[in-house]
Amino acid sequence: MHIGIITCEILRREIKEVVRKSGVEEVFFVLPETTNSVITVRHQTLIDRFSSEFAEDGLVVKEKTLEKIAREIHERDLNESVIINVLELQMHDYPDNLLVEIEDSIKRMGLVVDVIVLGYGLCGSSVGAMERVLNEAPVPVVMPRDEEGEILNNCIEIALGREKVQALLNEEVGTFFMTPVGAALIKEPQVILESSITIIAGRMNRHAAADTPHIIKILKNHYYRVVKIWYSKADMKEREYAQTVKNFARKFNLEIKLVKGSSKIMYETLNAVKVHNWLTD
């Protein structure tokens, strides 16, 4: 079976676990089919950051255009692989554009794979719009959902689960969430806040991203704590992550709360394809 994964870079920890538990030994990363060197270099950097998560897993990792990946699968008569298309982190700033990119990626990848796992929540899109994209896909597409089958909103709900996020917000509505990958990619406190606020802006108005500076002025004093999400002991001990969280908390006068995240939801998303016999324990 050939599994396609279309994902935001921020979920690279979760995607690593999906790939590791799948038992597949060959992973392809999709390079853009373009002659524009700027785009190629930018995407190569994106892939290098993402693929670094697989460095110690002994996987065969290759980077090719989708056309060349399809050719290699055919020529080598490969029976199974994982093909990953990584999209840039802040595409959620413009939900309509993100949805178009996801739909286009599904159509192109659907010509090569048997099933697609979407490493995204709604990220500002409506449920109806996202379900339409899934229903019109050329192959089965699954994405993170809650226990009632509703699509999760964002990467934080994917990391913690909707119920846990809601419980934390009920405990303190002015809660900001930070993940190891998110902190590694965006270290400047103001930029971190802007990225978060534009998700809210996208939900309120698809063209509201231009009003982000004004929204920040209104909302930055409404956060009272930051939740530092960790997955492993290494995350707990990582000095750079700790410093980024401390700087952010100091900048906006926030308390820090530690909460353990998990890759369980992304793994369960893959299980939703009902390929249990293909997975290894």
Q: Would you state the pLDDT for residue 252?
A: 79
Neighbours of 281 (CB within 10 A): 4
- Which residues pair with residue 228 across a beta bridge? 178, 258
Taking the C-alpha atoms of residue 42 and residue 217, their distance in angstroms, rounded to an integer, is 31
| pLDDT digits 0-9 by tens, 171-190 | 998 898 998 888 877 655 55
- The better pLDDT of the pair 204, 136 is held by 136
**Residue in 195, 227, 263, 224 with CA at minimum distance from that of residue 20:** 263
Q: Do residues 145 and 164 both lie within one domain?
A: no
Q: Do residues 11 and 131 both lie within one domain?
A: yes
Q: Is there a domain that residue 178 lies in?
A: yes
Which stretch of DSSP H or E encloses residue 176?
Answer: strand 175-178
Q: Is there a domain that residue 280 lies in?
A: no
Q: Do residues 213 and 199 both lie within one domain?
A: yes
Q: Which residues contact 281 (CB under 8 A, 6 or more apart)?
A: none
Q: Do residues 92 and 19 both lie within one domain?
A: yes
Taking the C-alpha atoms of residue 37 and residue 70, their distance in angstroms, rounded to an integer, is 23
Domain harbouring 87, CATH code: 3.40.50
Kindly indicate the confidence band of residue 90, based on its pLDDT and cuts at 50, 70 and 90: low
Q: Which domain holds residue 250?
A: 157-260
Kindly indicate the confidence band of residue 216, based on its pLDDT and cuts at 50, 70 and 90: low
Taking the C-alpha atoms of residue 61 and residue 80, their distance in angstroms, rounded to an integer, is 14
Mean per-residue pLDDT, 114-124: 91
Q: What percent of the chain has pLDDT over 70?
A: 82
Q: Do residues 75 and 212 both lie within one domain?
A: no
- Residue 234 is encoded by which pair of tokens? 């290494």
- Our count of domains for the chain comes to 2
Q: Is there a domain that residue 57 lies in?
A: yes
Q: Is there a domain that residue 278 lies in?
A: no
Taking the C-alpha atoms of residue 144 and residue 197, their distance in angstroms, rounded to an integer, is 22
Taking the C-alpha atoms of residue 64 and residue 245, their distance in angstroms, rounded to an integer, is 36
Q: Which phi and psi angles does 258 have, rounded to 5°?
A: -95, 130
- pLDDT exceeds cutoff 60 at 218: no
User: Do residues 135 and 112 lie in contact, with contact meaning Cβ atoms separated by under 8 Å?
Assistant: no
Mean per-residue pLDDT, 255-260: 95
- pLDDT exceeds cutoff 50 at 152: yes
Q: List the Cα angle 223/225/226 in 5-degree steps.
A: 105
Q: Would you state the pLDDT for residue 158?
A: 93
Q: Would you state the pLDDT for residue 187?
A: 58
Distances (CA, A) of 96 to 196, 212, 274: 17, 17, 30
Beta-strand runs (E) in 195-278: 225-230, 255-260
Which stretch of DSSP H or E encloses residue 76?
Answer: helix 66-76
Amino acid of residue 203: R
Q: List the Cα angle 134/152/155 in 5-degree steps.
A: 110
Q: Is there a domain that residue 55 lies in?
A: yes
Q: Is there a domain that residue 276 lies in?
A: no
pTM of structure: 0.84
Q: Do residues 51 and 178 both lie within one domain?
A: no
Q: Would you state the pLDDT for residue 237?
A: 87
Taking the C-alpha atoms of residue 182 and residue 8, their distance in angstroms, rounded to an integer, is 11
Q: Do residues 52 and 119 both lie within one domain?
A: yes
Q: Do residues 170 and 147 both lie within one domain?
A: no
Q: Do residues 232 and 193 both lie within one domain?
A: yes
Q: Is there a domain that residue 53 lies in?
A: yes
Kindly indicate the confidence band of residue 160, based on its pLDDT and cuts at 50, 70 and 90: very high
- pLDDT exceeds cutoff 50 at 260: yes
Q: Do residues 39 and 123 both lie within one domain?
A: yes
Taking the C-alpha atoms of residue 245 and residue 213, their distance in angstroms, rounded to an integer, is 22
Name the 3-class secondary structure at 194.
Answer: helix
| pLDDT digits 0-9 by tens, 37-83 | 777 788 888 888 888 877 767 788 899 999 999 999 999 999 889 99
Name the 3-class secondary structure at 108.
Answer: helix
Q: Would you state the pLDDT for residue 33?
A: 83
Q: Do residues 69 and 200 both lie within one domain?
A: no
Q: Is there a domain that residue 277 lies in?
A: no
First-to-last C-alpha distance (Å) of the chain: 17
Kindly indicate the confidence band of residue 242, based on its pLDDT and cuts at 50, 70 and 90: very high
The DSSP secondary-structure symbol of 208 reads G
Q: Do residues 16 and 143 both lie within one domain?
A: yes
Mean per-residue pLDDT, 108-113: 94
**Residue in 149, 148, 151, 146 with CA at minimum distance from that of residue 123:** 151
